[in-house]
Structure 1
Amino acid sequence: MPNRDQCTWNSMVSGFAQHDRCEEALNYFALMHKEGFVLNEYTFASGLSACSGLNDMHRGVQIHSLVAKSPRLSDVHIGSALVDMYSKCGNVDDAQKVFDEMGDRNVVTWNSLITCYEQNGPAAEALKVFHVMLEASVEPDEVTLASVVSACASLSAIEVGQEVHGRVAKNDKLRNDIILSNAFVDMYAKCGRIKEARFLFDSMPFRNIVAETSMISGYAMAASTKAARLMFTKMTERNIVSWNALIAGYTQNGENEEALSLFVLLKRESVCPTHYTFANILKACADLAELHLGMQAHGIETCSLLDMMESLEKIFCISNSFFYMFGSSTK
């Protein structure tokens, strides 16, 4: 195009960001700035969204510095995008700092901070922010409530979760929301309320793999591995999270032979295992003193690690199980 204006550039940056082509969005953002076009709230918000998609805090901080030099610093959309960017990059302190400095906030801003604490911790702060939000007379939406329920699940804060459930039950718009229903099933299951989880699961108009996997984990926690296996068998669609939930359930309940049998079935169905799969299988081998099988599993995982460049956290998880297996085999 021979004639490009601010609107054209903004369309390119936002278009690529909205279609998850974040690197290209940031390239156009940089070119727009280099060619001297004024960056407005739409440009900044799209650029920060691209940084969030890439978990690229380095460029996010650079954009933040440009925002700080702009008269649009107080724009609620930019502020919300900054909170979200720092949240996605795991920087809780800066997310909170931006939030505190904002003069105006909307529900998206509050959601970004609540989700930040729910995903990065401490989860208890997510509940505190939620209560402050209510005191500020800001009406929560389904995103707010789903994050709060997830925080309740991780904290076993069943009473707060039930209060939120009561609020949702009175709202015709939210009552059958699939994301919220999944979150409530997961919360009740993780809090050991398997009967409530099952009742809610059965009452869902549409059930998906997320709710089914939560039920598998819940049954496993309740030492009802037969019910967990039945749920797994009836699933029309499975992913590695579903397989891992049942394998972990077997190892947690000492049914190590079943865990190994399921692992064999997983391989036959060409499902790609994760570090979490191998950690549970190695533990099962250790408990059975099946050193030979454990060595085979470790060999497969070593190849997988080289191929996938697993993070140190994942390697430590597997290594701990591997050392546990060797220690058990020498007793």
Structure 2
Amino acid sequence: MVSEGILLGMGNPLLDISAAVDEAFLQKYDVKLNNAILAEEKHLPMYEEMTGMDNVEYIAGGATQNSIKVAQWLLQVPGATSYMGCIGKDKFGGEMKKNAKLAGVNVHYCEDEVAPTGTCAVCVVGGERSLIANLSAANCYKFEHLKRPENWALVEKAKFIYIAGFFLTVSPESIQLVAEHAAKNNKVFTMNLSAPFICEFFKDAQEKALPYMDFVFGNETEARTFSRVHGWETDDIEEIALKISQWPKASGTYKRTTLITQGADPVVVAEDGKVKKFPVIPLPKEKLVDTNGAGDAFVGGFLSQLVQGNPIEECVRAGIYASNVIIQRSGCTYPEKPDFN
């Protein structure tokens, strides 16, 4: 039985501004395909330009929120999931609230009086995507918000916690508090490597959180960056996944499992000193719409089964199913009901 609030996510809520663009657009703004970065001054005009495009779509997103919404969709139990992050008091923030409520997620947003709701430019070229996040309000999450009784109650209620690595740039102290709570109370704490720049420039914060992680998610690019940053001198995904799974742990309640997705190649799962590989569902190129949210969807699908106590094979199968659904649609969106059995 899935209890209310069993899964909690914390992260950077962003409104995705998604549009199909061309190579020239990427070059104009110095953007690489298949990357995730934080916006700099030179990127700011692109948001305005994209909002003027005919094919632009607005989708409530942000990595953690995507995963939580996908888990909620697969669970089909209203309020099974909850989420915290910071938005602005503006039109986009209002959209975000409406969207999350419709999805059945119990959101407790921190609302910033000054900063606008964060946005993420999703540039889609031939199904592949590049993400440029302008955090704005998402960057203003306050540790004090987490400690308010009505919000801390979500932490106490949850038995599983998921935080994308992107949140390390915003509130590492919130992550630490929740991670320590999880270790002390035998809860499952999970995180994502999230982006190469997190592994490189937020290495210390990531290392501080790593001992608490019972499950670590990531993709092949992030895994290889993690390996390089730690001087492991290997590009072998299986070896890297194993090494991450064997990193010392703060709590002995659970072993650590590392899951690395590799696009169309098999998912690599490392635990107990062994590696297993799970092939993904093959998809003909013409059916691929947009890879944005594929990794987030994998995590959401995986967590939807994990919270039900299902074996790892089932969790991975649900993750693969969810990402297969998402890449055939624009943005991290899904049909009304899942047909996962």
Does TM-score exceed 0.5, indicating one fold? Answer: no
1 or 2, which has the higher helix percentage? 1
Higher relative contact order (CA 8 A, sep 6+): 2
Structure showing greater Rg: 1
The TM-score normalised by the length of structure 2 is: 0.30
1 or 2, which has the higher strand percentage? 2
The TM-score normalised by the length of structure 1 is: 0.31
